[in-house]
Amino acid sequence: MSSSVKDYEIDALIGRNEAKHIAVYHAVRNSDKENVALKTHISDYPIREDLANLDHEYHILKKIDNPNIVHAYELIHEKNRSYLVLEFVDGLPLKAFIQEKKKIDLDSFYKIAIQMTRILENLHAQRIVHKDFNPMNIIINPKTLGIVITDFSLSSELQSELASNVLEGTLAYISPEQTGKMNRAIDFRSDFYSLGISFYEMLTGVLPFSSYDPAELIYCHLTKPPPPIDNIPPLLKALINKLMSKSAEDRYVSAKGIREDLMRLERNEQDFELGQSDVKNTLLISQKLYGREALIQQFLLHFETFLNEEESELLLVKGPSGIGKSVLIQEIQKPLASTKGIFLKGKYDILQKDVPFFGFVQVIKELIQYLLTQKKSQSNQRGFAKKYWLHGRSYRKLCS
């Protein structure tokens, strides 16, 4: 990469993110000697998706006017690369600050946490979901404890969206619905789950869930409660547990509600009910499935039986189009994930009737994509088989 780009002289590498194929450099603008940060691709020949991510981040940042969110100056396209020119923020990542302090004292915690919720309140009011809100994307001034939020490459302007087939976000902080392993859309409450994990780490110095195995981390986010935090006020503990609820419906519904509760705790109030100021600022339609409890239990009973037997089993769910067969099958995805199995899906599309075995082909493709992401040792240890779950137009295969 060249040491100069347009009107900017690059003089130092600030950091790299291999997972996102991104590097950030310190640079100086020649026209006024202003310090800036240049965000660009690690590869000299980035793929189309990486180019689109920088373009997306630039357009998101240009719509935000908040002194606690990094400002974007311009997006430069030069040869094969793109360069996002950002405000240079003097400080260090909150993650490094936590590691340096081991854990943050309560007074400092409240000062930082209230800023974090105020920023999320502003973002959500503009219908923007960050989707990767964590201490690695927060720059803090160690002296003033002022913070600035960075990295909006995954952010969305949609009020809600379905999880992508590609796992997006920092896995240690990702919400259960972002894993794609449960029948829930992603909305601003996903940021609240990541906020809860950030609060936990700030107060303890460690993450609630830690593993080198991505499947294990996803399993923890879906099913395991966080270890309890000692030596903090009971209401603060309850607030963090509420933020880290596995179901989005059990979390706060507004950043304002979180901020108001934190401010009362900062004033040493301990005798009040959490969420009194938690007022919805948008219409939230519950994604819970009602009236299908008996069928779900029947599915799970068959699955438990299958785990204890060696023979294969075929389970059919029939009914006219639009009756809710797909939603019913998707609803059992989360409890099945607790077995650490693989949930693969394929759907027979009425517009693809001319394609033989269309649903099976989708499942086989998804299985191959999964196997290609696994280490050789993991693939050899995993016993594939055995069960096929079919329902009307949809097909599911479960692997133990």
Mean pLDDT of the chain: 83
Nearest residue to 344 (alpha-carbon basis) of 313, 384, 290: 384
pLDDT tens string 256-278: 999 999 999 999 998 899 999 88
* pLDDT range class, residue 191, cuts 50, 70, 90: very high
Residue 395's pLDDT band (boundaries 50, 70, 90)? very low
pLDDT at 387: 39
Top-ranked range on mean pLDDT: pick from 167-181, 299-313, 314-328: 167-181
For residue 348, CA distances in Å to 49, 70, 360, 367, 396 come to: 29, 45, 9, 17, 11
Angle (CA) 339-245-203 rounded to 5° is: 110
The closest alpha carbon to 289, from 343, 317, 330, 253, belongs to 330
Q: What is the pLDDT of residue 30?
A: 92
Q: Give 384's pLDDT tier (boundaries 50, 70, 90).
A: very low
If one compares 377 and 296, the residue with the highest pLDDT of the two is 296
Residue 25 structure tokens: 């450099």
* Tokens 């900062």, residue located: 266
Please identify which residue in the block is written with the tokens 């100069």.
Answer: 4
Higher pLDDT, 120 or 285: 120
Q: What percent of the chain has pLDDT over 90?
A: 48
| Cα–Cα distance for residue pair 116/69, rounded to 1 Å | 11
Tell me what pLDDT residue 369 has: 75
**pLDDT score for 374:** 62
Query: CA Rg, the chain, in Å?
Result: 23
Q: pLDDT value at position 284?
A: 60
Q: Hey, what are 147's tokens?
A: 């913070």
Beta bridge mates, 347: 394
Q: Residue 291: what pLDDT?
A: 78
* Residue 206, CB-side half-sphere exposure with 13 Å CA sphere: 9
Residues of the chain above pLDDT 70, percent: 83
Best-predicted range by mean pLDDT (52-56, 279-283, 333-337, 346-350): 52-56
Q: Write down all domains in the chain, each with its CATH number in brackets.
A: 4-87 (3.30.200.20), 92-266 (1.10.510.10), 293-399 (no CATH)
